[in-house]
Amino acid sequence: MRILKIQTLRGPNYWSIRRHKLIVMRLDLEELAEKPSNEISGFYEGLVEALPSLESHLCSPGCHGGFLMRVREGTMMGHIIEHVALELQELAGMPAGFGRTRETGTPGVYQVVFEYQEEQAGRYAARAAVRLCQSIVNKGYYLRQELEQDIEDLSELQRDAALGPSTDAIVQEAEARGMPWMSLGTRFLIQLGYGVHQKRIQATMTAQTGILGVELACDKEGTKRILADAGVPVPRGTVINYFDELETAIADVGGYPIVIKPLDGNHGRGITIDIRNWEEAEAAYDAAREVSRSIIVERYYTGRDHRVLVVDGKVVAVAERIPAHVVGDGASTIEELIKQTNRDPNRGEGHDNVLTRIELDRTSYQLLERQGYTVDTVLPKDEICYLRATANLSTGGIAVDRTDDIHPENVWLAQRVAKVIGLDIAGIDIVTEDITRPLREVDGVIVEVNAAPGFRMHVSPSRGIPRNVAGAVLDMLFPPEKPSRIPILAVTGTNGKTTTTRLLAHIFKQTGQVIGYTTTDGTYIGDYLVEPGDNTGPQSAQLILQDPTVEVAVLESARGGILRSGLAFDASNVGVVLNVAADHLGIGDIDTIDQMAHLKSVVAEAVLPNGYAVLNADDVRVAAMRDRVKSQVAFFTMSPDNELVKQHTQQGGLAAVYENGYLSILKGDWTLRIEQAVNVPLTMAGKAPFMIANALAASLAAFVQGVSIEQIRAGLTTFKASVNQTPGRMNLFNLGRYHALIDYAHNPHSYEALGGFIRNWTGERIGVVGGPGDRRDEDFITLGKLSAGIFDRIIIKEDDDTRGRSRGSAAELILKGIMQVKPDCPYESILDETTAINKGLDSASDGSLVVILPESVTRAISLIEARRPVGDDIQQP
């Protein structure tokens, strides 16, 4: 077997609209192409031995053991690899359920598709699955050690990719609300929502978190000062910079017991609490000094440690934090008990997991000593031995939810404190004997206020109810009336995407909003080009969706990008499908027109339920997409008699139609006329039917998004496909006596569409035609045939670069096509493109149209400009 390609999909795609995270592996089965699993001796047994858990895969039989039944009876290796890749991820703690395996047009080559949770792990699983199966085929087994290594590697890839627990909680909540999010790839920044409506977070800080509040909270002494001035109970204490000052400071705070901590520390580092004598104070001073220059000396308050989380001015959760400890069983030593506790799979390193492993430090031994223990003491049954003085989760503490217990006065106080410090999300640390009573009554204090407080103690407390604190954050960032999305309008089709995208963006500009759009020519925001180039893939779309100024996104969504990585967005508001024709077939395992239609229908199917799929009713394959979509449908048609559209509008549906020379919207029984085609420059004075179709599609897409008829009209009448903006796309030149047109029509469908325009020309129609040498023979013959039906006179030319063909052979094939249709057609064969174009222009009769399909658009344009065109409009009698 040989892996030919592994692709990672990240959005709605050819295989699934709903499952965005898919690996697509192109796999050549080679020697196994003709061998189903039942014909490989020992394969079934080897597979069951290596991965007994495959028993749980139902597969097509739909029952437990269903998949293994298929393996025993005989199934192709691609299919088995799909299941193995899923199972490997499952074993590594990343369950994924979706898979598909399909034959391609190339014998023995399969596409194996399966879901992933983490990209890198998914790609790894693809390779590992092939390795595993190949080993069983060759040797009858896959070594246990190798499997264990695979699973370990997969878990590591998962850990590497994992978001922090607080970020993860917020992202999960966003997903549950159907809100889009993306990682910005630096500084752990996460974007929630799109475009102008986006909000960024970084762990539990938001774009709204004030820098002054954060800096104040990070300054423990400053915080205490501000809080004390506001009448909030805080520990009595002082700050010192030199060891000399320690003794006086202790006296100042009222003597032992005291707490010594670094002025700017966190996660409990360098803190010693409950210091009872000078010796301990000295050691504590040194420990704090390692973290910070200045040192806080405070009175020690006895009590339990609480974290109160305030979001947007409201207390949303309260946790009591209990320092790391073990509970005796009457038989084990303290050391053994610690080991047992740390074996809990919920305990990890640092903040990775729900809890952190217990490690002993300097204060731990002091604590043990005070309790009269050593690590070798056998702890009596049910007796608690504390191992750390502070309750931070990061030093092995646990959290107990106390949200329902906090006294209302303490709620009021915490909420006020968050405001006083100036934080939208604040973690307030309270030490009190009893959180159910007001702080004042029990001599409780607020020891500090944390910016960017961790969420894990609230989201997954060791005891008590988990609290959806991420929900409160999202409620704050996106209040009910505030959207998180911007309208996304995606445009696809074989021909006319760029034209329609540009026109649609232009129409939307009439509303005064900032439009971001991507096309084959470049990425634009407002009136400016951001990046030139073919930008119809997901990266350019991301650029638009990440831009904080963009209010509406119009995205040309070409076949290549959808195939390579899926759509760049989870769902759109409008999906326009213009047409589906034979072009690009045979690339990326899309071999038939119907497969192409299926691929393009992704754009229609990924529309939000309350959005619209804008479909071409005159194209059967596009019209048929109405049955696949979950959204509403609006049709456009060139014919007022289109039966489908009639039915649709009779049932109250929306449509755009070309009727009596007008571009109109049909809404139920009403006809809303937008504009006469002759007044829409893009339609070449109404002579280019395919441009009318593009204009109908754009108008309809804008209309369903609430753009007014007046604004659509203003857009249609002021839009021009200029030579500068879209060179090679229907560039018309008025040369006074005659006209010339340069177009890049590159497939029979667009060629025919172009013919629709040329046939409407009343003067002589002269074609200067040819095509790239790498086209198939029959494509040249078709080109000839179509040309014969369009032009009165034809000049056949060839490209400078014949792409491997012998000079003159393409011209011969074109001629063959012409002769099949119109044997008496006047023609000339001039192989050199420049000579051919000049000949065509020189010989143009009055009122004629010279149509040039050039190899080099720029050269053709300069040849025409040398003849000083008087304009780009049509002046035909």
Shortest approach of ligand ATP to residue 647 CB, angstroms? 23
Residue 773: what residue type?
G
Q: Which residue is nearest to ligand ATP (CB)?
A: 496
Give whichever of 206 and 535 is closer to ligand ATP, judged by the CB atom: 535
- According to the binding rule CB under 6 A, does residue 833 interact with ligand ATP? no
- According to the binding rule CB under 6 A, does residue 540 interact with ligand ATP? no
- According to the binding rule CB under 5 A, does residue 320 interact with Mg ion? no
With CB under 5 to 8 Å by kind, the binding choice for 206 among Mg ion, ligand ATP, none is none
Give every strand in the sheet of 272-275, ordered side by side: 237-240, 295-299, 258-262, 272-275
Member of 115, 743, 799, 833 binding ligand ATP (CB under 6 A):
743
What would the DSSP string read from start to end of 423-468?
-SEEEEEEEES-TTS-HHHHT-EEEEEEES---HHHHS-SBS----
With CB under 5 to 8 Å by kind, the binding choice for 325 among Mg ion, ligand ATP, none is none
- According to the binding rule CB under 6 A, does residue 653 interact with ligand ATP? no
The answer to whether 478 and 199 are in contact (CB under 8 A) is: yes
DSSP tag of 163? P
Nearest CA to 559 among 540, 533, 539, 585? 585
- According to the binding rule CB under 5 A, does residue 429 interact with Mg ion? yes
Burial 854-864 (b: 16+ CB within 10 A, else e): bbebeebbebb
Member of 198, 415, 462, 495 binding ligand ATP (CB under 6 A):
495
Q: List binders of Mg ion among 478-507 (CB under 5 A).
A: 497-498
- According to the binding rule CB under 6 A, does residue 87 interact with ligand ATP? no
- According to the binding rule CB under 6 A, does residue 578 interact with ligand ATP? yes
Binding part of the chain for ligand ATP, among 145-153, 710-718, 744-752, 861-869 by CB under 6 A, reads 744-752
Give whichever of 385 and 544 is closer to Mg ion, judged by the CB atom: 544
Give whichever of 296 and 629 is closer to ligand ATP, judged by the CB atom: 296
Shortest approach of ligand ATP to residue 623 CB, angstroms? 15
- Give the C-alpha separation, 332 to 310, whole Å: 41
- According to the binding rule CB under 6 A, does residue 280 interact with ligand ATP? no
Residues 321, 453, 395, CA angle at the centre, nearest 5°? 45
The answer to whether 209 and 451 are in contact (CB under 8 A) is: yes
The answer to whether 729 and 535 are in contact (CB under 8 A) is: no
Binding part of the chain for ligand ATP, among 86-94, 268-276, 653-661, 830-838 by CB under 6 A, reads 268-276
Residue 84: what residue type?
V
Task: Say which residue the tokens 């997954």 belong to.
Answer: 460
Looking only at Cα atoms, what is the longest distance across the chain?
115
Rg of the chain in Å (alpha carbons): 36
- According to the binding rule CB under 6 A, does residue 447 interact with ligand ATP? yes
Shortest approach of ligand ATP to residue 451 CB, angstroms? 10
- Give the C-alpha separation, 732 to 741, whole Å: 4
- Give the C-alpha separation, 11 to 566, whole Å: 5
Member of 21, 79, 123, 261 binding ligand ATP (CB under 6 A):
261
Give whichever of 354 and 474 is closer to ligand ATP, judged by the CB atom: 354
- Give the C-alpha separation, 678 to 661, whole Å: 8
- Give the C-alpha separation, 649 to 198, whole Å: 37
| SS3 label, residue 598 | helix
Member of 693, 716, 758, 863 binding ligand ATP (CB under 6 A):
693
Task: Say which residue the tokens 């031994």 belong to.
Answer: 365
The bridge status of strand 765-769 relative to strand 295-299 is unpaired
Q: List binders of ligand ATP among 106-165 (CB under 6 A).
A: none
Nearest CA to 555 among 104, 564, 571? 571
With CB under 5 to 8 Å by kind, the binding choice for 839 among ligand ATP, Mg ion, none is none
- Give the C-alpha separation, 481 to 592, whole Å: 46
- According to the binding rule CB under 6 A, does residue 741 interact with ligand ATP? no
Shortest approach of ligand ATP to residue 496 CB, angstroms? 3
Helix, strand, coil percentages for the chain (3-state, nearest 5):
40, 25, 40
- According to the binding rule CB under 6 A, does residue 265 interact with ligand ATP? yes
- According to the binding rule CB under 5 A, does residue 298 interact with Mg ion? no
Give whichever of 228 and 624 is closer to Mg ion, judged by the CB atom: 228
Q: How many residues bind Mg ion (CB under 5 A)?
A: 5
Give whichever of 395 and 565 is closer to ligand ATP, judged by the CB atom: 395
Pattern 437-456, Mg ion, x by CB under 5 A = -----------x--------
Nearest CA to 309 among 451, 123, 171, 195? 451
> What tokens does 388 get?
């750390």
Binding part of the chain for ligand ATP, among 38-46, 164-172, 368-376, 445-453 by CB under 6 A, reads 445-453
Nearest CA to 681 among 871, 491, 877? 871
Give whichever of 468 and 492 is closer to ligand ATP, judged by the CB atom: 492
Judged on CB neighbours under 10 Å (0-12, 13-18, 19+), 455 is buried
Q: How far is CA 834 from the centre of its chain?
A: 47
Residues 613, 619, 623, CA angle at the centre, nearest 5°? 40
- According to the binding rule CB under 6 A, does residue 260 interact with ligand ATP? no
Residues 706, 712, 714, CA angle at the centre, nearest 5°? 140
- According to the binding rule CB under 5 A, does residue 274 interact with Mg ion? no
Give whichever of 43 and 300 is closer to ligand ATP, judged by the CB atom: 300
> What tokens does 580 get?
């589906």
- Give the C-alpha separation, 544 to 565, whole Å: 17
Shortest approach of ligand ATP to residue 637 CB, angstroms? 12
Pattern 541-560, ligand ATP, x by CB under 6 A = -----------------x--
With CB under 5 to 8 Å by kind, the binding choice for 730 among Mg ion, ligand ATP, none is ligand ATP
- According to the binding rule CB under 6 A, does residue 730 interact with ligand ATP? yes
With CB under 5 to 8 Å by kind, the binding choice for 224 among Mg ion, ligand ATP, none is none
- Give the C-alpha separation, 50 to 39, whole Å: 19
Q: How many residues bind ligand ATP (CB under 6 A)?
A: 44
- According to the binding rule CB under 6 A, does residue 745 interact with ligand ATP? yes
* H or E element, residue 347: strand 347-348
> Taking the CB of residue 802, how many other CB atoms lie within 10 A of it?
16
- According to the binding rule CB under 6 A, does residue 300 interact with ligand ATP? yes
Binding part of the chain for ligand ATP, among 152-160, 354-362, 447-455, 796-804 by CB under 6 A, reads 447-455
With CB under 5 to 8 Å by kind, the binding choice for 495 among ligand ATP, Mg ion, none is ligand ATP
Backbone phi and psi for residue 139, each to the nearest 5 degrees, phi listed first: -115, -10
Measure CA of the first residue to CA of the last residue in the chain; give whole Å. 67
Pattern 223-252, ligand ATP, x by CB under 6 A = ------------x-----------------
Neighbouring residues of 877: CB distance < 8 A, sequence distance ≥ 6: 762, 847
Binding part of the chain for ligand ATP, among 3-11, 243-251, 258-266, 367-375 by CB under 6 A, reads 258-266
- According to the binding rule CB under 5 A, does residue 731 interact with Mg ion? no
Give whichever of 23 and 431 is closer to Mg ion, judged by the CB atom: 431
Q: Which residues bind Mg ion (CB under 5 A)?
A: 429, 448, 497-498, 520
Q: Which residues bind ligand ATP (CB under 6 A)?
A: 235, 259, 261, 265-269, 271, 273, 298, 300-301, 305, 390-392, 429, 431, 447-448, 450, 493, 495-499, 520, 558, 578-579, 690, 693-694, 729-730, 743-745, 749-750, 753-754
